[in-house]
Structures are given as structure tokens and as C-alpha cells.
Chains A and B, each alone.
With several copies, the nearest count.
Chain A
Amino acid sequence: MANRTAAAFGLLCVIAGAYAPTLAFAQAEEFVPETVTTKERMDPGQNVFVNMQNWGGGPSVAYIYDAKDLTLKGSVSGGSQSHFTISADGNTAYMASGYYPRYDSGAGEHVLQIFDVPTNALTKEIVLPYKLAQYTDDIAFLRLSSDEKLIYIQNATPATSVTVVDLTSGTVVQEVPTPGCFGIYPTLEDHGFSTICNDGAFTTFTLSEDGTSAESQKSAKIFDPDADPIYLSSDRAEGNLLFISYHANVYRLDDSKGVIEKLSVTPIAEGVEGNWGTSGYSVVTYNEPNGILFVPMHSEHHDGSHYHGSEEVWAYDLKNKTLLYRSPLADLTAIHVTDEEVPQLFGLSLKNTKIYKFDVDPTAKFAAKQVAEHSDFGFATTLMASP
């Protein structure tokens, strides 16, 4: 290496005609100069992804943390007001965002960017219809089909629609109008998605295999948007869809039949003193092996407090309809639990702009306690983990 470096310098010296032929460090016996490089791949291991949305005309960043200890392992960056998701294996990341020629002004473009996670490298960029939702991020805005051949992207102009991109060809194949409806909840089978509508019903769109056409079917009224509005946040439980309302009622829905059917409504705060309500943005996360739902909660909830930070995170046994444990975890506005037998719980605090990791003890009623934290991201409301 030393010789090669010296040779490199020598070459330059000859060319530039201004340098002594050997330099100080080439003369040192033991010292071998270092070189600047780029680390090609992140260290392997399970990752946690946090989508930091930039609302100030600059780049959004998805930070990638080591699930073990929240060490920052890497990041990918895109445009403004990003939406973000990852492939099931955690090796591919998708970001939809906006770039504007004068940052805060001028007609720009909305793009889908695809990244290789291990190398943090941008691998593809697809220009989208200029209609991307500019909305506080939820995972419901950028969703892969279950076979990961299509990706569904939420639009709002404010008229709402869904852009369908064929990831194999890298082209936009369809824009599905979804008037009065918002959020994308893909079906587990085939191509299609459901969406929440303004009258409390859901509409399910069943797409053709190639994604180019769609048929829709509207459900009965599922919830009352006036009396018991649900969040956009969702998770799967044994194949069903879970939502939760501001007032902490859990809606369990079946989307396997081409139309949404309501299976149950479970009020998890009923009978608990203190008028508790749901707290934050990513508020529905379910640990499948144990059947435990985790929800950030705050007391004395009232109109307008639904996005406030948590006072506690509740572990609720959804099969036995039992509130198991109330962990005193403050200021969380988004949580995500892994689907492991011994769950790992991750949380975001908008107030503290931090990510936290909590150990969860299945032998102690799924009590959670903080074991790691990391700061230095900005406005983030969604997080997800690779397997």
C-alpha cells in the first residue's frame, strides 16, 4: 500500500510539476498512511427503520438502527415529506417523496426511490404522478402488495387516489380513484387493498394480476367517524386487520373476502379509571406469537389529545380480552413490536426526538422497560423492523 500511495503521489507530482518527488510519510519506516474509503455494507443483523420526514423543503431520511442496541448503522435519504416502507426480508427500502426546484416553491416532482438496504445505495427512481400525499407519515401511505410485485402509493390533491406501480417494470400502471377514502391496507392474497372512507365504511379494491385494472366493493359501516374515529394506524393479527379509535376501541376486521367485515370491537380502556385514550400516530402494533397488542395511552383524554405523547404503554391480551400490564413509558408517539416469542418493543418520541428500545418480559405480563435509546432524528411518526 505504501508503495502504491507513494507512486500515486509521485505520479501527481510529475504531472503537476510542483512537488518534491517523495513526501514525508513515504520516508517513515513503520508508518503506513491511511486512506479514506466508504464502508460498502452495513454490519449484518436485525435493523430498525425510522422515517424522518422533512417538512422544511429539505431531504427526508430513513435512519437505520441496529435492533440490538440502537447504534446508527446507516441511512437512506430522499425528498420532502417522505413515506417509507421496507420489503418483508428487510433488504429493500422504498421511499416516496417530493423534490421542488426552489425547495419551498416551484412545481417539482414526486418520486419513488428504491434502495438496497445493506449498501444504502439508491438502485432505482420512478417518477410518480404529481399527487403524492403530503401528510404526517403513516405506514398506510406506501404499501407493497403481499408478493412485492406492486407498490401502492397514497395521493391527495386533496382529492384522494392511489398510484399503483409495477416494481418489475418500474412503471406506473394505474391511478385508482378513492374519493372520500384514505389509507392503504393491502390484501394478504393477490393484488388489492382496502381503504377507510368518510362515512365509516371501507372500500376494498381488487386489482388484476398485472395491477392495471381494479374493481371495488364497499363495506357496511364499520365505525362512526364522528363518535369513535379510528386512526390510520393498523397491524395484522392472525390474518385480520386491527385498527384502534381515539377512544381506544380496537376494531378487528376481515379483509379476505373482497370486502371488509367487522369481526369485533374491543374497548381496551373500559373499566379503567382515568378516562384513558389512545396516544400518538403509530398506535397499533401486535405481537403475533403471544397475541398481545401494545398501545400507547394517556389519561384524561379529550377532543384534540389523540396525537399527544403517551403516559403508558398497555399490553393487552387480545385473545382473552384482558389488559395485562401498563408500563409507565412516557412521551411515546409511535411504537412497533416485533413478532418474536420474546418481543422487542421500539418507540419514538416526537417530544424528545429519540428512538427507544424496550425489553418485554412474557413471564411478567409483557411488562416493558427501556434498555437503549438514540437521538438525532427529527420529525418521525413511523418505525418498522426487519426480521
Chain B
Amino acid sequence: MAKLIDSFLGWMDTAAENRARRIANVSGRRSFLQKAGWALVGGAVLPMLPYDNSNGQAFARGLGEPDELPEDCEYWRYCSLHGSLCSQCGGSVTQCPPGSTPSKVAWVGTCRNPNDDKDYLVSYNDCCGKGGGCGDGCSRQEGDRPGYRYGLASESSWCLANEDKGIHCTVAIVVGLAE
């Protein structure tokens, strides 16, 4: 954990910290999360949470989700997805397949949940360190921006901060309300 925080702060120090400060000053919280949340959500929190053994049933409470989650690109939380669905690669909507590692960082989308008609922040983590294609590819990319807003950039590899750079598939994690 300490090491991860170090590495998180490492790049914040060298490059984005001043930017983060500035954005935090001039923008609302949502806008800030959209820009910087990927690092928070995907990177630093991850190692504090225990691994999930519920075999794919780990979706969030409070979303009004049906028991069976849709498996196609049109599923609401995939609104900004760009990648292959881990649920078709041995993982689930929120779980990387066995033997792969979630990306430390991620891009973030804002998706409307039709079950409660609220907007949620969705973190798109790549699953890293494993070769081979798998799963349907989705390219909805709503809210996508080029790398000048890196936290929204679905065209980046998000295994870029992991030691193992190979990209296997992508998961979609509902990490916050976007109101």
C-alpha cells in the first residue's frame, strides 16, 4: 500500500499535482473526479480492499440492478467503455479474469443508470499482464476525451502504470454518484 501511494504521489509530484490543485480550485467536485478520479479510484484504493470471491456477483448495492447483468455493449455502465468485456474472458463486470491484474489507474465515464435514472461515475480498469484477445469489443466511448484530459481518455492503455503492460480486457466499476 505504501508503495502504491508513493507511486501515486510520485507522478502527482512530478507532473499533475499542480494541475490537480488548480482544477480543484476552479472546478466542481464532479468535474474534478472526472479528471483525476481515475488515479484515485483505480490506483490507490484498490490494494486496501480484499479480493472478491463472489464469482461475479460483486456489483454495487443501491443500483437497482437486475440479478442477471446484461452481457453486451449496450449495458448502461459500459457507456464509455472501449475494450473487450472481461465478463466474456473468465472475469465479470467488476472482476478481472483469473491470473490477470487490474490496472492501477483507469479512465472514468459518467453513465446514466436506467434503474434509478441517476448518473454514476464508472471507472474502466484494464486487466493486465495476460496475452490474447477475448470477449466482445465495445467502443461506446461516451464522454471520451483525448489525452489532454487523460482521466477521460479511453484510447490510452490503462495498464501503462502496471509493471505488466499486456492488456487482456476491461471491467467497469461503479465508483460514485455523479450528482
Contacts and interface: CB of A to CB of B under 8 A. Distances in A.
Interface of A: 1, 4-5, 8-9, 12, 15-16, 18-20, 23-25, 27-28, 30-43, 52, 54-61, 63-64, 72-77, 80-81, 98, 100, 103-108, 115, 118-122, 133-136, 156-161, 177-183, 195-198, 225, 229-232, 303-304, 306-308, 376-377
A158 B95 contact: no
Contacts of B175: 25, 33-34
Contacts of B39: 158
B141 A43 contact: no
Given A100-B165, A376-B133, A34 B94 contact: yes
5 contacts: A61-B132, A157-B11, A158-B156, A196-B148, A308-B139
Contact of A303 (B143, B161, B166, B167): B143
B62 A5 contact: no
Interface string B111-144: 0000000000101010101111111000111111
A32 B97 contact: no
Contact of A134 (B99, B165, B176): B165
Contact of B174 (A12, A34, A40, A122): A34
Contacts of A36: 42, 46, 94-96, 102, 106, 123, 125, 171, 173
Interface residues of B, number: 103
Contacts of A28: 62, 177
B160 A307 contact: no
A177 B160 contact: no
Nearest to A32: B61
Interface of B: 5, 8-9, 11-12, 14-21, 23-24, 29-30, 32-33, 35, 38-40, 42, 44-46, 48-49, 51-53, 55-56, 58-63, 79-80, 88-92, 94-102, 105-106, 121, 123, 125, 127, 129-135, 139-151, 153, 155-157, 159-161, 163-168, 171, 173-179
Contacts of B58: 34-35, 37
B92 A39 contact: yes
B30 to A, nearest CB: 7
A77 B132 contact: yes
Contacts of B140: 304
Contacts of B89: 72, 74-75
Nearest to A59: B131
Given A38-B95, A106-B164, 19 more contacts: A16-B8, A19-B24, A19-B32, A24-B29, A34-B175, A36-B46, A38-B127, A39-B90, A39-B98, A60-B131, A74-B89, A75-B131, A103-B166, A158-B160, A159-B11, A159-B12, A178-B15, A232-B147, A304-B141
A16 B147 contact: no
B94 A74 contact: no
A83 B144 CA distance: 21
Contacts of B35: 198
A225 B149 contact: yes
Contact of A196 (B18, B139, B141, B146): B146
Contact of A5 (B20, B49, B129): B49
B147 A135 contact: yes
Question: Top 4 nearest A-B pairs by Cβ distance?
Answer: A104-B166, A120-B99, A59-B131, A61-B132
B131 A33 contact: no
Query: Which of B21, B46, B100, B142 neighbours the largest number of chain A CB atoms within 10 Å of its CB?
Result: B100
A37 B143 CA distance: 24
B146 A232 contact: yes
A108 B125 contact: no
A35 B134 contact: no
Nearest to B100: A38
Contact of B90 (A27, A64, A376): A64
A183 to B, nearest CB: 7
Contacts of A24: 29-30, 33, 121, 176-179
B85 to A, nearest CB: 11
A8 B76 CA distance: 27
